[in-house]
Amino acid sequence: GNIIILGYPIAAAWLLPHEANFFVAINILSSMVGVAATSFVSTQLLASGLEWCWCYYIPGIMLFLLSIGWFIFGSDKPETSRFVSRAELELLQSNTIAKRNESLLRNHEQIGGSPIVTNHRDDSADETLPLVTGAKPRDSYHCRCPHRERPECPANELKRKPNWLVIFTCPTMWALILVQFANHWTAKNATLWPTFYSNILHIDSSTIGIMIGIKGVWALIFGTLFAIVTRTLVINRPFNMSLTAYRRWNQAIATTIYSTSVILIVCLDCNRLANFIALLIQPLVSSFNSISHDQMPLDLSAEDSGLLVSVIRLLSIGDIVALPVSSYILSHAPDALAGDRATWKIVWSVGLAVRALASFYFVLVAKSRPKSYSRLEPSGTCKSLSEK
């Protein structure tokens, strides 16, 4: 799961849209492999004297270390990355050319130009100059510089700088934060999960391990098929629906499945069967969310999508908000309430309400066209202009 977070910037900036979606789906599958492989280890951990909350502390420590490694060894350009082979570099460069041609065509039409057919050969000088959505072509940035034919002039070299104020106030940011809050609402009640399983669901730790293992294997099998189908649907959406409509349908299905899972857990009397069914259908929720919430930043500009998700995920904004609130509600409650089904109904219902709110807000801000939250600025001042 930690690798998924670090893979978003690569998927967004280096790959074509349908390839990026498939890449994210493969990352999700890798996390399911980890769930299936470590289910019995988790069972032994629960049966040992180690506190339950360490099940969350250990991944958190791993994420922190991986994040440090990412910032030290990671690279925002394939050409400077030590982990990209020559064949992979050629593929990434061809993808970059294709994405730039598509942006150039769209930008040309947005400024009132007639439709054009691009047969663009990417030059070395253009390789480091990404286009901004909605902006004019590249030459319009060089009108004030007398050295338009000299790419080595500092005024002709553009660098992308994040607009942090816009990023932290944009609807996309808050939609993803709300989603993270909903996802971690009940999962962060680490200290009382054993009480929930033993007093409410009446199952022991060994049964939990078996159920988690079955869930992981099922998610792996289903996710493999889902990744293939997703890649096809992203390219050819059913019923010729728009990308926004496609997202809304997926999110509606995911919310419905999640609601069914919650109702089975908190309302039915056949506790073990209900929880077993809920665990089996939850991978469906993750799969549909991989199209909607998780892939939402991939529809932003390639330069900003990885930045947005990295800021949200690595800072764990949704976790930071959800952890103290949910922990205060349950961890400070009396033991009698912790073992009461009515208390858990309230907790799960609140989580469901937040999830529904996140889904509703998501479909409002989801857009079918990329949007940029950063800006291009010259790396320096033209020497001729500065001398004057």
The distance from CA 329 to its chain's CA centroid, rounded to whole angstroms, is 28
pLDDT of residue 115: 43
Q: What is the rounded average pLDDT of the residues 279-296?
A: 56
53-58 own/partner pairs: CB under 8 Å, 24+ apart: 53/190, 53/191, 55/190, 56/187, 56/188, 56/190
Query: What is the predicted pLDDT for the residue at 121?
Result: 36
Q: How far apart are CA 138 and CA 154, in angstroms?
A: 15
Tell me the pLDDT tens digit for each residue of 220-274. Answer: 666 566 656 655 665 566 667 665 666 667 666 766 766 666 666 656 555 556 5
Q: Per-residue pLDDT tens for 37-88?
A: 665 566 566 566 665 556 556 666 666 676 677 667 666 566 666 666 777 6
- Per-residue confidence (pLDDT) for residue 60, from 0 to 100: 62
Range with top average pLDDT, 123-132, 250-259, 371-380: 250-259
pLDDT, position 48: 64
d(CA 376, CA 359): 33
Instruction: Give 382 or 118, the one with higher predicted confidence.
Output: 382
Q: Which domains does the chain have, with CATH numbers?
A: 2-76+164-365 (1.20.1250)
pLDDT class for 131, splitting at 50, 70, 90?
very low
Residue, of 292 and 62, whose pLDDT is higher: 62
E strands, the chain, where? Answer: 158-162, 374-378
pTM greater than 0.85 (yes/no)? no
Q: Please state the φ and ψ torsions of residue 123, each to the nearest 5 degrees.
A: -95, 160
Those residues whose C-beta lies under 8 Å from the C-beta of residue 36, and which sit 6 or more positions away, are 213, 216, 217, 219, 220
Quick: pLDDT tens for 191-206: 455 566 666 666 666 6
pLDDT for the residue 357: 75
Assign 11 a pLDDT band (cuts: 50, 70, 90). Answer: low
Whether the CB-CB separation of 388 and 148 falls below 8 Å is answered with no
Task: Pinpoint the alpha helices (H) of 140-242.
Answer: 164-169, 171-183, 193-195, 205-235
- Crossing angle of the two packed helices 302-315 and 171-183, in degrees rounded to 10: 40
